[in-house]
Amino acid sequence: MSSFRGSYTVTVTPFTPGGAEIDYEAWQGFLDWQIASGVPGIIILGTTGEFLTISDAERRAFVDATVKYVAGRMVVMVGTMNAYTPHAVRYSVEAETLGADGLMILPPYYYTPTEDEIFNYYKAICAECNLPIMLYNNPFTSHVDMSAKLVGKLAKSFEQIRYIKEASQRIERIHAIRVESDGLMNPWAGQQVLESFKMGANGYVNPYGNYIPRASARFVDWAYEQRWDDVWAVQSIIQEFDAIITEGHPLYGHQCYSKALAAAAGHPVGDVRAPITTFESLGEEGRERVARMVPLMQELDRVVDVIESRNAAA
């Protein structure tokens, strides 16, 4: 069973104009940038990757192309969730066959399933797939909040399940998961790295890696070393991005601006697919917000340079 650690960018999916197709040329440049920035792993086809807009044929081709291009230079995990259990099983087996290193799987969405239904969903996946699985607890999108007790039961029942992206915004849940799983589960922060690591998080699922990969990888390295002042120096600036983005409509903020900011960093990856509001349609509003965030990107580079220079001299 693989051991995952660090800050994994939960990536956008790049599209050609109008969202017609996946842009593989842009994707290769984006992946090279992630690797050069010191990112140890990526998670494709998550919420940021607009997984609900991806056809089965696109999914297979995208996973295959990603695994082949990365060629072992960093970890590749794949989101394989679906509201219909046989689809989630099929996507998971397909990712394993194509050479992915692990899976990130949200519980069944829309139905608001019971804990028994959630348990049986993951049981069906584990029966057919041997890859390490990261549970994804995000009650804001799935409308399911997996309790620490359920997470512990899943970890103790299935050896593939050893990770969880805990995005409930209840930081205390991280410690409870460790207790309920008898230490088997490795919780990963879904937000608030400093606070999550102090509670026992062991990694970070990172949407900011789409446009500030270097800084958002390094501050997790510092969190492992409990260098809290250095972590805060980065996290405090990241919170400024959040403040600017969330001034707008919450539906388009996360994916739309991740893509716009990746382009501002020199890696254009297209726009989002419907129903999410496109960056292009935001007009001056969107351009003005990006113009406010570009200096923050530059400030983060400066902050990381200063911290790394200081530590090298120590």
Catalytic residues: 136, 165
The answer to the question of residue 193 being in a domain is: yes
- Whether 198 is covered by a domain: the verdict is yes
- Which residue matches tokens 């899943």? 154
Residue 154 lies in a domain: yes
Alpha helix positions (H), the chain: 24-36, 56-70, 85-97, 115-128, 139-142, 148-157, 173-180, 193-198, 213-224, 228-245, 250-264, 279-282, 284-313
Give the total number of structural domains in the chain.
Answer: 1
Does residue 195 belong to any structural domain of this protein?
yes
The answer to whether position 302 is within a domain reads no
Task: Name the CA radius of gyration of the chain, rounded.
Answer: 19
Domain hosting residue 67, numbered range: 6-223
**Per-residue pLDDT at 222:** 98
The enclosing domain of 112 has a CATH number of: 3.20.20.70
Instruction: Tell me if 271 is assigned to some domain.
Output: no
Report if residue 286 sits inside a domain: no
Residue type, 263: A
**Does residue 272 belong to any structural domain of this protein?**
no
Buried b (16+ CB within 10 A) or exposed e, 169-180: eebebbebbbeb
Query: What pLDDT shows up at residue 167?
Result: 86
pLDDT attached to residue 141: 82
Per-residue pLDDT tens digits of the chain, which is 314 residues long: 558 999 999 999 999 999 999 999 999 999 999 999 999 999 999 999 999 999 999 999 999 999 999 999 999 999 999 999 999 999 999 999 999 999 999 999 989 999 999 999 999 999 999 999 999 999 888 889 999 999 999 999 999 999 999 988 788 999 999 999 999 999 999 889 999 999 999 999 999 999 999 999 999 999 999 999 999 999 999 999 999 998 866 665 678 999 999 999 999 999 999 999 899 999 999 999 999 999 999 999 999 999 999 988 87
